[in-house]
Structure 1
Amino acid sequence: MKKITVVFRHAPHGSASSREGLDFALLSASFEQQVTLIFVDDGVLNLLANQQPAQIGCRDYIATFKALPLYDIEQVFVCQQSLQARTLNLEHCAITVEPLEPEAITAQLQLADEVFVY
């Protein structure tokens, strides 16, 4: 079993990058790969609850993050510094995530067989 880490670095709307990252993570997990998700930089915005993407003509894929446990994706991390830089905290997140400092994120990335950045 490969250890795959998917890093979300971009805001959820305006491009398909984050949606593609989520699709890739779910697909990888369905093939019994160990998948870890890490949200950094503007990627932390994917975690915000109560988004209304339909108002800007986008599809609401953010709710799909709630399906992660169904795919056995249990390691979901967020960069604590990225949250703080955007005046956010864990209470703003729609799903349960574990905050990590940048050094811990680096250590987590080193555990992966493959890292994909979206």
Structure 2
Amino acid sequence: MKSMLIITRQAPWTGPGARETLDIALAGGAFDLPLGMLFLDDGVFQLVASQQPGSLQQKDLTANLQALPLFGVESLYVSAQSLQERGLDAATLNLAVDVLDDSALTALIDRYDQVITL
């Protein structure tokens, strides 16, 4: 079975993209596909705790994120550079993720058979 890496680059409040990416990951996990998820660029904002999406008429993604390991999506990664550029600290994120530098990101992407960027 081919492995898949899903790269999410959208902030949770910029529209439906972040939610749709999570739905794809949850569906893939439900079918036991070997997949991982990488939070890159503004996608790292999905991992910030205590968001107030209702004020922007968006839905809270916290429950979907917390469900990822329950659906078999346990390989979760975040770009160290993306966190740093946005002033975020990995210790304050609402999900356990592996923080990777640029060289580790390249190796990660090479490990997967298919890569989807949304």
Equivalent position amino acid for 2:113 in 1? D
Equivalent position amino acid for 2:46 in 1? N
Q: Does 1:3 align with 2:8?
A: no
Aligned residues: 118
Equivalent position amino acid for 1:82 in 2? S
Q: Could you tell me the percent identity over the aligned residues?
A: 36
8 Å Cα contact 2:46/2:61 also seen in 1: no
Q: Does 1:57 align with 2:61?
A: no
Equivalent position amino acid for 1:77 in 2? Y
Q: Which residue of 1 aligns with 2:28?
A: 28
Counting only pairs closer than 5 Å after superposition, residues 22-101 of structure 1 correspond to structure 2 as 22-101=22-101
Q: Which runs of 5+ in 1 are unaligned?
A: none
Equivalent position amino acid for 2:52 in 1? Q
Equivalent position amino acid for 1:38 in 2? L
TM-score by length of 1: 0.94
Q: Does 1:110 align with 2:110?
A: yes
1:65-92 CA-partner distances (Å, limit 9, x unpaired):
0111111111101000110111111122
1:25-75 CA-partner distances (Å, limit 9, x unpaired):
110111110110101111100100011101111111232101111111111
8 Å Cα contact 2:29/2:71 also seen in 1: yes
Q: Which runs of 5+ in 2 are unaligned?
A: none
Within 2, Cα distance between the matches of 1:111 and 1:56?
37
**RMSD, aligned α-carbons:** 1.0
